[in-house]
């Protein structure tokens, strides 16, 4: 027996294995088994004589729903074989489906890149195949129960042409959270230089699209040959009692390699010079220019904590590409966790930190880190910090502990001239310490004390802005008025006790400078009173009236 594919089951921790068995020139078998490190294990052997002419191997394997599926390929580069070995781990059934596609496609050397079990009735294989000019990706899909037998098994096949022979793809891996395949490989963009890539199959935001177009070039349903077995030939295996220690291989670990990665130039535009990430010069505009070690912030007040603009513009011709992104990250390392990210495809990016802290647990000294980084667009964890700032954020409850009234409101007295327009008058706010920005003041009208009716004269629509409107447009409204108000002081601070300040008086006098007979838009009137006139019957008189 020759094992080909091995993996560890995530649910049980057992080792799963598939492989081939040659018993004679006429008999060719496939086997599947699972075992742990303690007990004897059962090897399930199934006849697969139809595969013997192809010199097959099982190069990829996946398990789910108690199915173990192996991807079959041929070691003969002149052949064109696609197939799957499906093993039921609970009932020990197996089905071997395969097709010789040499008559269907000009591609040869079908290499399996990936296996995905979407459902028990939805299994896919991914192959890479080549001809003398280009490479192609083939995806086969079985959408029926492989263990309902007898049956004919119809498998769909589709293929896409890869852009260039300079691209090599090594593996496809299905990611359930993305509902998509990711593929790994490399491409030769420059003579003597290779770039590795990890990209997405059907996503639009991919690192590198290896296809000329997304739509499949060919699609069809094909009948696959089947060798179905409900009862395997069973062989038993055990572990050797040899307890000799294995010699541990010395492994060299590397990390933080990103600063040494070359940002390639477009050779037709710029010179052959190259810049390593670690050598890039960051331009920073920070306010303030000199960053203090400590920055104070009061609970309940919105604080302008940090502002800076970063850039590496005009240093690289490939500054703006789909395979990289730029980030600013602001993190607080303390009893409470805080982080703020900003992403951009362009290197010029702003880090702006304004915050309003409200809870008592926020009080204390907190270390703040601001980092400007370059990262992979598909994996932002893979990044290199181009520049960092550190400072201590000192959050206190000063607004509550040192609350005081610095300046009270005085009673208000104004004169209001008759007008056809609403005139708004501002009421001053309380001056509070230690910082006016910590508090919210609310104006409330208590009651009216009037010498004359004022209900139609006052407008309260701007009380939130501490403004009162007056409309007096008739001599009938001339007179003195008064109303009372109070001010409620609150704060968005945990356990802050509100304060009420009252009462205050707002007096206003309505007057008219023209005179008591003046009225807006009225009929003409005499400037002085008309004197008494004595008239006799039958006698004509000429009487002089006052000016109007």
DSSP states along 417-431 = E--SS-EEEE-PPPE
Torsion of CA 239, 235, 145, 122, to 10 degrees: 30
Tens of pLDDT along 198-215? 777 776 556 566 666 555
What is residue 237's predicted lDDT score, i.e. its pLDDT? 63
How far from the centroid of its chain's Cα atoms is residue 363's Cα?
29
If you average pLDDT over residues 253-269, what whole number do you get?
48
Whole-angstrom distance, CA of residue 99 vs CA of residue 274? 50
Kindly state the percentage of the chain with pLDDT values over 90.
Answer: 31
Whether the predicted pLDDT of 257 surpasses 60: no
Residue with tokens 């403004």: 467
Give the ranges where 385-541 is alpha helix by DSSP (H).
Answer: 398-401
Q: How many CB atoms lie within 10 A of CB 137?
A: 22
Instruction: Please state the rounded mean pLDDT for residues 263-275.
Output: 43
**pLDDT beyond 50 at 333:** yes
pLDDT in tens, 357-376: 999 988 999 999 999 988 87
pLDDT tens-digit series, residues 512-535? 876 544 455 566 666 667 777 777
If one compares 354 and 220, the residue with the highest pLDDT of the two is: 354
**23 or 48: whose pLDDT is higher?**
48
Relative to beta strand 499-511, strand 412-417 is parallel
Cis status of the peptide bond prior to 469, with omega within 30 of 0? no
Domains, the chain, ordered by start:
2-162+211-237 (no CATH), 275-396 (2.60.40), 402-511 (2.60.40.10)
Specify the higher pLDDT residue, 196 or 516: 196
pLDDT of res. 451: 43
In whole angstroms, give the CA distance from residue 488 to residue 31. Answer: 82
In angstroms, the Cα distances linking 521 to 457, 458, 526 are 19, 22, 15
Percent share of the chain, pLDDT over 70: 80
CA-closest candidate to residue 181, choices 192, 172, 171: 172
Looking at the predicted structure, is the pLDDT value of residue 268 above 50?
Answer: no
Q: What integer pLDDT is reported at residue 269 of this predicted model?
A: 37
Q: Return the H-helix or E-strand segment holding 68.
A: strand 67-74
Position 241 confidence tier, pLDDT thresholds 50, 70, 90: very low
Q: Tell the burial category of 211 from Cβ atoms under 10 Å away from its Cβ (0-12, 13-18, 19+).
A: middle
Contact 415, 508 (CB under 8 A): yes
- Taking the whole predicted model, whether its pTM rises above 0.85 is answered as no
Give the model's pLDDT for residue 442.
Answer: 93
Going by C-alpha positions, the residue among 466, 455, 459, 467 that lies closest to residue 488 is 466
**Of 270, 267, 274, which Cα lies nearest the Cα of 191?**
267
Given this model, what pLDDT does residue 270 score? 35
Q: What's the pLDDT score for residue 426?
A: 94
How far is 155 from 84, CA to CA, in rounded Å? Answer: 11
Looking at per-residue pLDDT, the higher value among 390 and 262 belongs to 390
Instruction: Report pLDDT for 4.
Output: 76
* Position with higher pLDDT, 350 vs 526: 350
Average pLDDT, the chain: 81
Q: What pLDDT is attached to residue 244?
A: 46
The residue behind tokens 């590198």 is 208
CA atoms within 13 A on the CB side of 272: 2
Asked if 70 and 121 touch (Cβ cutoff 8 Å), the reply is no
Residue 45 in contact with residue 3, Cβ under 8 Å? no
**Taking CA 344 as the corner, what is the angle to CA 340 and CA 350, rounded to the nearest 5 degrees?**
60
Which candidate, 204, 194, 142, 143, places its Cα nearest to that of 170? 194
Q: How close are the terminal C-alpha atoms of the chain, in Å?
A: 127
- Please state, in angstroms and rounded to a whole number, the distance separating the CA atoms of residues 140 and 127: 8
Cis, bond preceding 288 (omega within 30 deg of 0): yes
Distance from C-alpha of 33 to C-alpha of 43, rounded to nearest angstrom? 5
Q: Among 397, 364, 341, which Cα is nearest to 294's?
A: 364
Taking residues 227-233, report their average pLDDT: 83
Using CA atoms, how far apart are residues 278 and 261, in angstroms rounded to an integer?
9
Task: Considering only residues 146 and 524, tell me which one the structure prediction assigns the higher pLDDT.
Answer: 146
- The Cα–Cα gap between 350 and 341 comes to 10
Residue 255, C-beta contacts closer than 8 angstroms, at least 6 positions apart: none
- DSSP collapsed to 3 states, 305-335: EEEEEEECCCCCCCCCCCCEEEEEEEEEECC
Q: Tell me the C-alpha distance between 109 and 112, whole Å.
A: 10
pLDDT in tens, 294-311: 999 999 999 999 999 999
The Cα–Cα gap between 323 and 345 comes to 9
Which string of DSSP letters, residue by residue, matches 122-144?
EEEEEEEEE-SS-EEEEEEEE-S
Kindly report, residue by residue over 179-193, the tens digit of the pLDDT. Answer: 777 888 877 765 556
């Amino acid at each position: 027996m020759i094992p080909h594919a091995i993996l560890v089951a995530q649910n049980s921790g057992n080792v799963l294995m598939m492989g081939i068995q040659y018993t004679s020139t006429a008999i060719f078998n496939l086997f599947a088994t699972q075992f742990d490190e303690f007990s004897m294990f059962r090897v399930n052997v199934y006849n697969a004589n139809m595969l013997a002419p192809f010199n097959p191997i099982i190069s990829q394997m996946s398990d789910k729903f108690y199915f173990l599926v192996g991807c079959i390929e041929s070691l003969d580069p002149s052949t064109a074989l696609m197939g799957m070995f499906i093993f039921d781990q609970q009932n020990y059934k197996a089905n071997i489906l395969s097709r010789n596609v040499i008559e269907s496609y000009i591609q040869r050397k079908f290499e399996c890149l990936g296996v995905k079990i979407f459902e028990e009735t939805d299994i896919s294989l991914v192959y890479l195949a080549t001809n003398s000019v280009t490479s192609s990706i083939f995806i086969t899909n079985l959408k029926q129960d492989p263990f309902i037998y007898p049956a004919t098994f119809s498998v769909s096949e589709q293929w896409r042409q890869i852009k260039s022979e300079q691209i090599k793809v090594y593996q496809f891996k299905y990611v359930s959270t993305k509902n998509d395949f990711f593929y790994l490989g490399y491409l030769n963009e420059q003579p003597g230089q290779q770039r590795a890539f990890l990209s997405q199959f059907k996503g639009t935001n991919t690192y590198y699209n290896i296809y000329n177009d997304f739509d499949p070039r060919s699609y069809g349903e094909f009948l696959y040959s089947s060798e179905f077995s409900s009862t395997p030939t069973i062989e038993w295996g055990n572990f050797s009692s040899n307890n000799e220690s294995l010699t541990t291989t010395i492994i060299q670990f590397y990390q933080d390699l990103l600063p040494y990665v070359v940002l390639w130039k477009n050779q037709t535009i710029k010179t052959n010079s190259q810049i390593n990430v670690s050598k890039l010069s960051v331009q920073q505009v920070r306010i303030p220019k000199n960053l203090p070690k400590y920055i104070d912030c009061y609970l309940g007040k919105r604080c302008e904590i940090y502002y800076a603009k970063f850039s590496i513009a005009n240093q690289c011709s490939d500054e703006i590409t789909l395979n990289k992104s730029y980030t600013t990250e602001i993190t607080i390392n303390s009893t409470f966790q805080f982080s703020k990210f900003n992403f951009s495809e362009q290197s010029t990016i702003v880090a702006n930190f304004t915050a309003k802290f409200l809870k008592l647990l926020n009080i204390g000294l907190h270390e703040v880190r601001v980092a400007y980084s370059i990262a992979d667009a598909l994996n932002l964890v893979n990044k290199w910090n181009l520049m960092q700032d550190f400072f201590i954020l000192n959050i206190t409850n000063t607004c509550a502990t040192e609350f005081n009234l610095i300046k009270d409101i005085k009673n208000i007295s104004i004169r209001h001239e008759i007008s056809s327009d609403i005139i708004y008058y501002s009421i001053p706010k309380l001056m509070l310490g230690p910082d006016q920005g910590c508090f919210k003041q609310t104006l409330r009208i208590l009651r009216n004390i009037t010498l004359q009716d004022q209900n139609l004269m006052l407008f309260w629509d701007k009380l939130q802005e501490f403004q009162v409107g007056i409309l007096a447009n008739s001599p009938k409204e001339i007179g003195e008025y008064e109303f009372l108000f109070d001010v409620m002081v609150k704060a968005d601070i945990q356990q802050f006790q509100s304060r009420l300040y009252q009462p205050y008086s707002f007096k206003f006098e309505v007057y008219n400078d023209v005179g008591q007979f003046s009225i807006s838009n009225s009929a003409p009137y005499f400037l002085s009173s008309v004197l008494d006139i004595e008239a006799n019957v039958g006698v004509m008189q000429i009487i002089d009236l006052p000016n109007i």
